[in-house]
């Protein structure tokens, strides 16, 4: 029987992964208690991770983050943030009050202050004599298609674009939708909006015309900035047709500004469409940034919630920019004079907003902006970029790291990665095995790894190690950064003891917090502030280990309840991925008549294991089920494990467990429109019926 499908191009064939490396590179061995009948307490302590990596003194000596920051913030939180705001940001008018929480949960930070985000990201660096510093090393997907922009050149583009928007009738407070590939114009467009006080709403270029239309409508955007297309997997891929469809039949949009990226044939509407390059060329290069109130809206960013309608998360200027700059400095440890920083996110996600545009650019950093996919034209593309540009700080997602693990360590080994000195992770829990692989294979066994927990809603990093300060624990996001206060609480809202699990909450307002959901204050209060009064409910399950480190266990809706025991999907996924034959795993709780829910696992095997499974799938599956039982406890032993060649993921790389639950419960698979590749579900179902 064939339970395996040929891996597709997106995943690669997966070079065999040397089984021996794990033991060899593991400083400490893990001990898992395997109780006969695990209680809630033992369960919470089960995936105990003993490996520890203390800070390297040489790194600590140069680190931006210090132990003292914690003490300062604890002594006087408001004074701490006021100092961050004044030290890191240039205000055209100083603020009078740090925080106004009198209308909670609607916060005002740095009250009475005025500033401009684009001025902070560009002009002031040029004024300080750093105009010749490279802001962006743009690397297009086609080989050799690169272009550098200095801060002075970026400023010129942004000033011109600001003039163009003003000429098109965009006024302070008007919304502008941005629908672009990962090209420098995406950054320039965002900063041009900020420069005139027009909040942007970036819609990820992979979203459909429908998604774009509903986001344009909700924000009542006046202008859309797009491109003819972008390069994807070696081919031009059109973008403009989706915009044409989204603005057809009368919308709030009265102009579409089009960047010429690919030069492909593009339908044109003379009433609406305008070429970006023509408009910028004709525009004046003089422009004064407009100072705005600290609480002036900077952007909207739509994110999916539990209901169908996406939420327009609102961020404002002063607090957001302060925390963006601060975290990029103390968490990524970016030293703008010497580092080359690379955040691999798309600007369509919050990570791209905060850690490509606002944080690093407020700090005056030099960064890489890469348009393409990790395997175009070959699986070493990222490492080639790291080598060529001497990237020193890399920020990416666990899903990428696990993909590289699957492709094999031989690929990164072909490149000189010695410039790397800090590695970051964001987006989902990083399994300890992936963490250790990242440090050993990419970080040469020396780089600190910062696993950063935050959300679109939080605007910037909230929970993370500080490199050079924190003793690192693979798999744990560790602790709230200085100035931030989080807790893990039980159903009643009481703080849990070390060793126990509960819900992640934020119990003090923070500068980059969302200021609301666009047009829906009730939903804002209901979604985030009603579960525990006065406290922000993040929607993530979490656990505190014996030392008080925070382990984020995934969305609360990913938490399973098996025979009354709360089990985390992430914990079991980590156990599966720790098996040498497993490359990637997703776990869901399927309704079960006896146990309430039962654990169902989906695994992608590493290359050579796949061949073995073709021979004897049953033995391998039995082996994996026992492995989980051994690692976590018999209660966690999956009822079923399905071997698949793909997992359904959103475009931001999050596994859509809802769809896998449909499969596990033999239901018609639900809405797949937010999948990066909607054919994946067909692939999984075909594989399943073969094995069925």
* Footprint on this chain of ligand 6R9 (rule: CB under 6 A): 303, 349-351, 426-429, 451-456, 477, 538-540, 552, 554-555, 652
Q: Does 429 show up as a binding residue in the annotation? A: yes
> Which residue's entry shows tokens 């590493």?
606
HEC letters along 148-203: EEEHHHHHHHHHHHHHHHHHCCCCCCCCEEEECCCCHHHHHHHHHHHHHCCCEEEC
Answer whether 256's CB lies under 8 Å from 223's CB. yes
- Would you give the DSSP letter of residue 121? I
Q: Is 586 helix (H, G, I), strand (E, B) or coil?
A: strand
Q: Does 427 show up as a binding residue in the annotation? A: yes
Q: Among residues 369 and 461, whose Cβ is nearest to ligand 6R9?
A: 461
Q: Among residues 261 and 543, whose Cβ is nearest to ligand 6R9?
A: 543
Q: Does 234 show up as a binding residue in the annotation? A: yes
Integer Cα distance of 346 and 366 in angstroms: 17
Q: Does 455 show up as a binding residue in the annotation? A: yes
Q: Does 579 show up as a binding residue in the annotation? A: yes
Integer Cα distance of 203 and 673 in angstroms: 15
Instruction: Report, in Å, the least distance between residue 304 CB and ligand 6R9.
Output: 9
Instruction: Report, in Å, the least distance between residue 654 CB and ligand 6R9.
Output: 7
Q: Among residues 110 and 528, whose Cβ is nearest to ligand 6R9?
A: 528
Q: Does 540 show up as a binding residue in the annotation? A: yes
Q: Among residues 134 and 330, whose Cβ is nearest to ligand 6R9?
A: 330
Using CB atoms within 10 Å of the CB of residue 668, give its burial: 0 to 12 exposed, 13 to 18 middle, 19+ buried. Answer: exposed
Q: Among residues 207 and 453, whose Cβ is nearest to ligand 6R9?
A: 453
Answer whether 511's CB lies under 8 Å from 101's CB. no
Q: Which tokens belong to 629?
A: 């039982």
Instruction: Report, in Å, the least distance between residue 430 CB and ligand 6R9.
Output: 7
Instruction: Report, in Å, the least distance between residue 553 CB and ligand 6R9.
Output: 8
Instruction: Report, in Å, the least distance between residue 13 CB and ligand 6R9.
Output: 29
The DSSP-derived string for 426-495 is: ESSPPPHHHHHHIIIIISTTT--EEEEB--TTT-S--B-PPTTTSPB-TT--B-BPTT--EEEE-TTSPB
Q: Among residues 38 and 474, whose Cβ is nearest to ligand 6R9?
A: 474
Q: Which tokens belong to 65?
A: 């983050």
Within 10 angstroms of residue 582's Cβ, the number of other Cβ atoms is 27
Q: Does 451 show up as a binding residue in the annotation? A: yes
> Which residue's entry shows tokens 């579409």?
256
Q: Does 351 show up as a binding residue in the annotation? A: yes
Integer Cα distance of 7 and 407 in angstroms: 11
Instruction: Report, in Å, the least distance between residue 48 CB and ligand 6R9.
Output: 18
Q: Among residues 456 and 527, whose Cβ is nearest to ligand 6R9?
A: 456
Q: Does 454 show up as a binding residue in the annotation? A: yes
Q: Among residues 43 and 343, whose Cβ is nearest to ligand 6R9?
A: 343
Residues 6+ apart with CB under 8 A from 200: 175, 176, 177, 178, 189, 190, 193, 194, 298, 299, 300
Beta-bridge partners for 292: 115
Q: Among residues 349 and 383, whose Cβ is nearest to ligand 6R9?
A: 349
Q: Does 428 show up as a binding residue in the annotation? A: yes
Q: Does 160 show up as a binding residue in the annotation? A: no
Q: Among residues 417 and 463, whose Cβ is nearest to ligand 6R9?
A: 463
Beta-bridge partners for 237: 230
Nearest Cα neighbor of 504 from 480, 474, 521 is 480
Q: Does 235 show up as a binding residue in the annotation? A: yes
Instruction: Report, in Å, the least distance between residue 652 CB and ligand 6R9.
Output: 6
Instruction: Report, in Å, the least distance between residue 355 CB and ligand 6R9.
Output: 9
Cis peptide leading into 303, omega within 30 of 0? no
Instruction: Report, in Å, the least distance between residue 17 CB and ligand 6R9.
Output: 24
Instruction: Report, in Å, the least distance between residue 132 CB and ligand 6R9.
Output: 33
Instruction: Report, in Å, the least distance between residue 448 CB and ligand 6R9.
Output: 15
Answer whether 402's CB lies under 8 Å from 570's CB. no
Q: Does 452 show up as a binding residue in the annotation? A: yes
Q: Does 565 show up as a binding residue in the annotation? A: no
Q: Does 347 show up as a binding residue in the annotation? A: no
Q: Among residues 262 and 431, whose Cβ is nearest to ligand 6R9?
A: 431
Within 10 angstroms of residue 134's Cβ, the number of other Cβ atoms is 18
The DSSP-derived string for 500-551 is: -EEEEEE-S--TT---EETT-HHHHHHHHHTTTTTSEEEEEEEEE-TT--EE
Instruction: Report, in Å, the least distance between residue 212 CB and ligand 6R9.
Output: 18
> Which residue's entry shows tokens 């917090």?
513
Q: Among residues 344 and 652, whose Cβ is nearest to ligand 6R9?
A: 652
> Which residue's entry shows tokens 């030290």?
87
Integer Cα distance of 336 and 329 in angstroms: 9
Instruction: Report, in Å, the least distance between residue 587 CB and ligand 6R9.
Output: 15
Q: Among residues 201 and 652, whose Cβ is nearest to ligand 6R9?
A: 652
Q: How far, CA to CA in Å, does 429 sit from each of 285, 290, 336, 435, 476?
A: 45, 40, 28, 10, 8
Using CB atoms within 10 Å of the CB of residue 414, give its burial: 0 to 12 exposed, 13 to 18 middle, 19+ buried. Answer: exposed
* Residue list, annotated binding site: 232-235, 351, 427-429, 451-456, 540, 555, 563, 566, 577, 579, 582
Task: Indicate the annotated binding residues for Mg(2+).
Answer: 577, 579, 582
Known binding-site positions for CoA: 232-235, 351, 563
Residue set of the binding site for ATP: 427-429, 451-456, 540, 555, 566
């Amino acid at each position: 029987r064939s339970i395996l499908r040929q891996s597709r191009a997106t995943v690669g064939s997966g070079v065999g992964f040397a089984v021996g490396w794990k033991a060899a590179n593991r400083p400490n061995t893990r001990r898992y208690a395997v109780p006969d009948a695990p209680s809630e307490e033992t369960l919470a302590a089960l995936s105990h991770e003993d490996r520890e990596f203390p800070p390297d003194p040489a790194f600590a000596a140069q680190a931006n983050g210090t132990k003292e920051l914690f003490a300062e913030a604890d002594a006087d939180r408001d004074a701490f943030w006021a100092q961050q705001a004044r030290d890191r940001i240039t205000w055209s008018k100083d603020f009078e009050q740090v925080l106004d929480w009198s209308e909670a949960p609607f916060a005002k930070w740095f009250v009475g202050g005025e500033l401009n985000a684009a001025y902070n990201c560009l002009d002031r660096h040029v004024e300080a004599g750093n105009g010749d510093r490279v802001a962006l090393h743009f690397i297009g997907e086609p080989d050799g298609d690169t272009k550098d922009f200095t801060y002075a050149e970026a400023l010129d583009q942004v000033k011109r674009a600001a003039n163009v928007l003003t000429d098109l009738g965009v006024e302070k407070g008007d919304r502008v939708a941005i629908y672009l590939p990962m090209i420098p114009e995406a950054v320039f467009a965002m900063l041009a909006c900020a420069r005139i006080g027009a909040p942007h709403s970036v819609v990820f270029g992979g979203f459909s015309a429908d998604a774009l239309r509903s986001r344009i409508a909700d924000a009542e955007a006046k202008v859309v900035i797009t491109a003819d297309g972008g390069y994807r997997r070696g081919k031009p891929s059109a973008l403009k047709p989706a915009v044409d469809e989204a603005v057809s039949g009368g919308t709030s949009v009265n102009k579409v500004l089009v960047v010429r990226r690919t030069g492909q044939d593009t339908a044109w509407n003379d009433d609406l469409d305008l070429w970006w390059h023509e408009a910028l060329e004709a525009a004046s290069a003089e422009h004064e940034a407009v100072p705005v109130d600290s609480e002036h809206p900077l952007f909207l960013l739509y994110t999916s919630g539990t209901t169908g309608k996406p939420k327009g998360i609102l961020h404002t200027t002063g607090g957001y920019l302060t925390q963006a700059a601060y975290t990029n400095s103390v968490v990524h440890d970016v030293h703008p004079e010497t580092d080359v920083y690379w955040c691999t996110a798309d600007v369509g996600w919050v990570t791209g907003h905060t850690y490509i545009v606002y944080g690093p650019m407020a700090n005056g950093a030099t960064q890489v902006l890469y348009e393409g996919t990790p395997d175009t034209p070959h699986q070493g593309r990222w490492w080639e970029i790291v080598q060529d540009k001497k990237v020193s700080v890399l920020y990416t997602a666990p899903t990428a790291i696990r993909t590289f693990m699957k492709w094999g360590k031989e690929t990164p080994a072909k490149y000189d990665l010695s410039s790397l000195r800090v590695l970051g992770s964001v987006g989902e829990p990083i399994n300890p095995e992936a963490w250790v692989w990242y440090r050993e294979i990419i970080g040469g066994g020396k780089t600190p790894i910062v696993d950063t927990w935050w959300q679109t809603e939080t605007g910037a990093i909230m929970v993370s190690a500080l490199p050079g300060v924190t003793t690192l624990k693979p798999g744990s996001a560790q602790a709230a950064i200085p100035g931030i206060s989080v807790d893990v609480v039980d159903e009643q809202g009481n703080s849990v003891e070390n060793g126990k699990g509960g819900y992640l909450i934020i119990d003090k307002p923070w500068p980059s917090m969302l200021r609301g959901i666009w047009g829906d204050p009730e939903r804002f209060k209901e979604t985030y502030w009603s579960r525990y009064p006065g406290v922000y409910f993040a929607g993530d399950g979490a656990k505190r280990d014996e030392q008080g480190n925070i382990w984020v266990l995934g969305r609360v809706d990913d938490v399973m309840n098996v025979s009354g025991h709360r089990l985390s999907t992430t914990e079991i996924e980590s156990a599966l991925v720790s098996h040498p034959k497993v490359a990637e795993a997703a776990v869901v709780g399927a309704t079960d008549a006896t146990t309430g829910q039962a654990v169902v696992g989906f695994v992608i095997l590493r290359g050579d294991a796949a061949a073995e499974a073709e021979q004897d799938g049953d033995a391998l599956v039995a082996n994996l089920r026992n492995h989980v039982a051994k690692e976590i406890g018999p209660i966690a032993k999956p009822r079923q494990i399905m071997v698949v060649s793909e997992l359904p993921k959103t475009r931001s790389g999050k596994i859509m467990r809802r769809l896998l639950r449909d499969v596990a419960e033999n239901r018609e698979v639900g809405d797949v429109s937010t999948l990066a590749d909607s054919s994946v579900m067909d692939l999984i179902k075909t594989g399943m019926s073969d094995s069925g």
